[in-house]
Amino acid sequence: MTQHLWERLLEAKSRLEPVQSKYRVLFEDPATPDEPAKVLVPDPNWMACALEGGILPPIETYQRDRDVPDGEPKEHPYTEPIGAMTEEEAIEYLVMKDIDPAVWRDYKGNRTIMKIVPVEMIPSDRSFRNAWRIMQ
């Protein structure tokens, strides 16, 4: 029987060193064009699990679970985990998991609304944070 995802995460937390990703995902939501660009920050413990393998479920299970109503059984905690990913593959997985498909799959416009960038490219001065846009 496959161990529950939460238990796998618990066990991984006790033995894996966190890994700070060198990437961030910049994106804009086409549904709210007046809002500033958002920045997705991978969690270091999650990244350690992704690089280790044998902990996280296939991304397809999260995608199928999007359509499952609240309170109904979800697939992703009980599915056999996948193997190790590279950091680049892990970022792509995270994009598909934590960013709305309207951004990474369905958008057909001409603007660039998503970019994977090195962390050094994210400004650390947040004085004008709400004016951030993705440079075209």
Partner 1 sequence: MSTLNVSNISDGTTTVGTSYVVNGSAKAWVNFNGTGTIATRDSFNVASLTDNGTGNYTVNFSNAFGTGDYSFLVSCKQNATSTGPFISTETFSTTSANIRTRNVNQTDVDCEIVSASNLGDLA
Query: Which residues of this protein are in contact with partner 1, per CB under 8 A?
Result: 3-7, 9-11, 13, 18, 20, 24, 35-36, 38-46, 49, 56, 62, 65, 70-71, 73-74, 76-77, 94, 97-98, 119, 122-124, 126, 129-130, 132
Q: How far is the CB of 38 from partner 1 (least distance, A)?
A: 5
Q: Which is nearer to partner 1, 72 or 108 (CB)?
A: 72
d(CA 92, CA 88): 6
**CB count in 10 Å sphere of residue 119:** 14
Q: How far is the CB of 123 from partner 1 (least distance, A)?
A: 8
Cβ neighbours of residue 135 closer than 8 Å, sequence gap 6 or more: none
Q: How far is the CB of 53 from partner 1 (least distance, A)?
A: 15
Q: Which is nearer to partner 1, 45 or 115 (CB)?
A: 45
Q: Which is nearer to partner 1, 34 or 110 (CB)?
A: 34
Contact 21, 91 (CB under 8 A): yes
Could you please report the per-residue DSSP string of 51-102?
HH-SSSPPHHHHHHHTTSPTTSPPSGGGSPPP----HHHHHHHHHHHHS-HH
Q: How far is the CB of 31 from partner 1 (least distance, A)?
A: 13
